[in-house]
A and B are shown apart, each in its own frame.
Chain A
Amino acid sequence: MAELTTFEQFVKRVLEIVFWVLIFLPLVILPVFYLVYVLPVELQCNFVLLGCSHSIDWATALYMFSPNQLNPFDPTSFISSMGLGASSILFRAGFFPGLTFVAVLSSFVIWYERKLLAKMQYRVGPLYAGRVGGIFQSFADLFKLLFKEIVIPAKADRLMFLAPVFGMMALGGALIGIVPVGANEFVASSPYSLLIALAILSFFPLVTLIAGWASNNKFSFIGAIRALYQMISYEIPLILSVIGVVILAGSLDFTGIVNSQNKIWFIAPMILGAIVFYITAMAEVERIPFDLPEADSELVAGWLTEYTSMVFGTINLAIYIKLYAMSAIFTLLFLGGWSGPAPVPDFVWFLIKTIIVMTIFIIPRGANPRIRIDQLIDLGWVWLIGLSFLNIFIALVLKASGLL
């Protein structure tokens, strides 16, 4: 703002302020008027304005918007009766076991990962954003990404370049929709929920391939081709390693699998399956030592090279949602899911176990080099498939002998 030196400038500034106030007042006043004056009447008359007296019952209106009636956890409150309560599908998909919860958890995990790796490598890590050890670094990065320009390369295929953003986010949302957090905290449940999760996971290489091709950049394309090679080598052991658990539990439902672990967690009899699942899940979320598609020391940023701004941020969020989902599936299959001593709520137990599993997913990044593509294919087809078949035989023997 320039300093005011003359009277003309003062008048001009006043007129400017009046102008902007006149423009913005309707944008604020009309919604407030609607909320306070029109909406209570419409609600009282069940959204039929005609044939209803327009006198406002202020007592009822105030009652509706009192803090007590806005409590989403009370099933009898006004907001619950409008379908916005804690048990409604909108709340579950959007907030608690759904997207907001996982997004906040992901931003925490990004900070936690950077801090942990820094400690492992004698560095400091994020320090300045926020009071305690740079805890708001992820949010600072988010705002930085929000204000950056979205650059689409001139030779890129526009539609196919932007489609993976929506694809990744939709697949991430579908994954957290099918993974339960507690006995009653889930978005959707199905007798086939484990298979549905595997089916959603099989979409990701398609999206990666499209992104790498549409960028029209050799680094992106090589990254996408590597993602495909990686998928070919880990997808079969991933599905085979789960079969042992399914045989023991006799169910394809996450809830059924968790309930059948009340005697013993499946990590004890199915230790081979757990190891194979851990390795293949790490390849699935493209983490070091399996980050061949991203390989930042060889391929700039792999298949993400051309993505900028919030487009990059959204894809990265979906990748971290995938990390959360894989850790959650590991917890559900092998660590007894949400079972734990009573006074602590079940989803807290689930979160504690999931964050421990995430830590185990993160730790190799601090110490391990990247493996070669031929080593990866050798590992997948020779060792992991063999081990998972051995695991299936162990499960069959345990089931046939009636031990579990």
Chain B
Amino acid sequence: MNEEIIFAALAALTIVAAIVSLEARQVVYGAISLAFSFLGVAGLFILLNATFVALFQIIVYIGAIAVLILFTVMLVTKDVEAESKREPIRPFAILIAVALAVVVSLVASFSNFTNTYAVSSNLTVANIGALLTGEYSFALEILALILGASIVGALTLAKLDKE
């Protein structure tokens, strides 16, 4: 019961912050509420016993991605805020939204997955490391290769700009 209340609060935080981040009149408010949305997702991970994932969600998404988005927004949109105005809601859009909601709820009600199960609490960092370097080592190497290639690509682009 207690967990369900916390889950509802975290889900509400995540969804409301995500909606605000799309709809806020001031783009900076949107970027900040995006950080709150990431924080809600981190809370959901903690609720599933995946504390390690939650901490990296905070370090990577709030510490790097949200800050970079906020940085970009602050540099770019100094005068765009005043011009952006709300579009009137169109009936066709409402129709599509309702249809989508009906389809999604139908799919959800006919599906097998009823519950999300928490990770067993004896899954430690050591176990995660053993899994990553053992069973999933190929995926880890592929990821490292992609990241290395993207870093080389970014460096090449930066060098090209200078010349």
- State whether B125 touches A203 (Cβ < 8 A): no
Is residue B138 contacting chain A, with contact meaning CB distance below 8 A?
Answer: no
Q: Chain A residue with minimal CB distance to B39?
A: A203
Q: Could you give, for residues 200-211 of chain A, a 1 whenever the CB lies within 8 Å of some chain B CB and a 0 otherwise?
A: 011101100110
Assembled-state Cα–Cα distance A190/B63 (Å) = 21
B64 to chain A, nearest CB (A): 8
A187 to chain B, nearest CB (A): 18
- State whether A192 touches B55 (Cβ < 8 A): yes
Assembled-state Cα–Cα distance A357/B56 (Å) = 28
- State whether B62 touches A225 (Cβ < 8 A): no
- State whether B66 touches A206 (Cβ < 8 A): yes
B56 / chain A contacts, CB cutoff of 8 Å:
195
Q: Could you give, for residues 120-135 of chain B, a 1 whenever the CB lies within 8 Å of some chain A CB and a 0 otherwise?
A: 0000111000000000
- State whether B59 touches A192 (Cβ < 8 A): no
A210 / chain B contacts, CB cutoff of 8 Å:
32, 70
Main secondary structure of the interface of B (DSSP, over half): helix
Q: Which of A213, A228, A239 contacts B67 (CB 8 A)?
A: A228
Assembled-state Cα–Cα distance A252/B127 (Å) = 13
Q: Could you give, for residues 209-237 of chain A, a 1 whenever the CB lies within 8 Å of some chain B CB and a 0 otherwise?
A: 11001000000010001001001000100
Interface band, chain A: 20 to 34
Is residue B51 contacting chain A, with contact meaning CB distance below 8 A?
Answer: yes
Is residue B28 contacting chain A, with contact meaning CB distance below 8 A?
Answer: yes
A228 / chain B contacts, CB cutoff of 8 Å:
67, 71
- State whether A195 touches B70 (Cβ < 8 A): no
B58 / chain A contacts, CB cutoff of 8 Å:
199, 202-203
- State whether A209 touches B59 (Cβ < 8 A): no
Is residue A191 contacting chain B, with contact meaning CB distance below 8 A?
Answer: yes
Is residue B108 contacting chain A, with contact meaning CB distance below 8 A?
Answer: no
Q: Which of A191, A192, A203, A250 contacts B63 (CB 8 A)?
A: A203
- State whether A196 touches B55 (Cβ < 8 A): yes
With A195-B52, A195-B59, A199-B58 already in contact, 20 other A-B pairs whose C-beta atoms are closer than 8 Å: A191-B124, A192-B125, A195-B56, A196-B55, A198-B59, A199-B59, A202-B59, A202-B62, A202-B63, A203-B62, A203-B63, A205-B67, A206-B32, A206-B66, A206-B70, A209-B67, A210-B32, A210-B70, A225-B74, A235-B64
Binding site for B on A (CB under 8 A): 160, 190-192, 195-196, 198-199, 201-203, 205-206, 209-210, 213, 221, 225, 228, 231, 235, 239, 250, 252
Sampled A-B contacts (15; CB under 8 Å): A160-B29, A192-B125, A195-B59, A199-B58, A199-B63, A202-B59, A203-B58, A203-B63, A209-B67, A210-B32, A210-B70, A225-B74, A228-B67, A231-B67, A239-B59
